[in-house]
Chains A and B, each alone.
Chain A
Amino acid sequence: MKNKTTAFTLLLFFCLLNSTSFFGQKFLTKNGKVSFYSHTFVEDIKAENNQVLSIVDLESGEIAINVLMKSFVFEKALMQEHFNENYVESDKYPKAKFSGTIKNLKELLSGEESLAKITGNITIHGVKKTITIESIFNKSEKEVSLKGKFMINIKDYDIKIPNVVRNNISDEVETSFQFIHQPYN
């Protein structure tokens, strides 16, 4: 009896698994790239993260992005230390997240438009904000790519910069992203 139930559950599970991969149009990357750039007259600061997880569903237009804060690599070790320990407090808030939807999915898939309009919630440093960003959209048989940049105002996310380095870090940080998604199976 027990075996039968297990077998049935397993069967159900596999049906479910198959149906999602068969009918769903999910694309995924575990090596998405997010970088940011802060420019002031004192110094330029750059950091790069190549381990960003992004999943896009071309049926519903939903998109989910997860970023590990500790994966940002800076040119200088000291900057990386300050970023993690003092500014984004990555021990307390290890991830930044975005979840949203592509608003003009139909036009993108038909090829009428090539600029995706994405609206959703972004969470950085535990603070959630609604944002709208534009992204270059490209789809081939094996790939869906999203690429673009947007500005982040660090004050919006309750990130405090001490006065000593106030002039070294810009309020507006340019954030670039590039996700080359592959079919998810």
Chain B
Amino acid sequence: MSLKKRKKIGYSIAIALGILLLLAATISIWMFNKPHRNVILEKPSISISAQQLIDDFSTNEEQANKRYLDQLIAVEGILQKIDSSNGVRVLSVGYPDASTSVTCNLNPSSNKASLQLKIGDKIQIKGICTGFLLDVVLIDASIIPSNYEK
């Protein structure tokens, strides 16, 4: 084999290795920087009334945890309170005469939409369920417009 040919093979191997390495690096960086769930585009896996969700957690928390934790849940209920804490808008959604409610911590993208809401409005909101304290807690929540097509 001529020196020229050997050099050529050497180059191609080097280039192939380089590409492979680059690919591996890209994949690992991409995996490391994997984005958070996009709850705004994601379709809720469960659609439920606030009353049913609260009942499920109050009667059997363990079972409800298994069913609802980490799920993107669409909850329908009556807006009872609008709060703000640490820069996050917090909506309490429930039903009349209930002591417990669903506490929805809004994703900032829904802040503007929340300004148009009034206490007593019937709303539908989706968020990731993280569990049950005094209330059922949803984080990263966004308001579903009332003309939302299922």
Contacts and interface: CB of A to CB of B under 8 A. Distances in A.
Contact of B31 (A53, A68, A78): A78
A33 B86 contact: yes
B51 interface: no
A53 to B, nearest CB: 4
B63 interface: no
Contact of B34 (A30, A73, A76, A91): A76
A66 B133 CA distance: 7
A114 interface: no
Contacts of B34: 76-78
A51 interface: yes
B70 A77 contact: no
A175 interface: no
Main secondary structure of the interface of B (DSSP, over half): mixed
A33 B128 CA distance: 18
Report the interface size class on chain A.
10 to 19
Interface string B25-43: 0000001111111000000
Interface in B85-120: 85-86, 88, 90, 103, 105
Contacts of A70: 69-70, 128, 130-131
A94 interface: yes
B133 A73 contact: no
Nearest to A91: B69
Contact of B103 (A51, A76, A78): A51
A33 B87 CA distance: 12
A31 interface: yes
Contact of B139 (A51, A66, A77): A51
A32 to B, nearest CB: 9
Contacts of B137: 51, 68, 71
B131 A78 contact: no
A68 B70 CA distance: 12
Nearest to A79: B32
Interface in A64-89: 66, 68, 70-71, 73, 76-78, 80
A53 B86 contact: no
A99 interface: no
A31 B103 CA distance: 10
B83 A31 contact: yes
A84 B90 CA distance: 24
Interface string A32-75: 01000000000000000011010000000000001010110100
Nearest to A70: B130
Nearest to A50: B86
Contacts of B66: 91
Given A66-B133, A70-B130, A70-B131, A31 B69 contact: no
Q: Which of B31, B35, B86, B88 has the most CB of A within 10 A?
A: B86
Interface of A: 30-31, 33, 50-51, 53, 66, 68, 70-71, 73, 76-78, 80, 90-91, 94-95
Interface of B: 31-37, 65-66, 69-70, 83, 85-86, 88, 90, 103, 105, 128, 130-131, 133-135, 137, 139
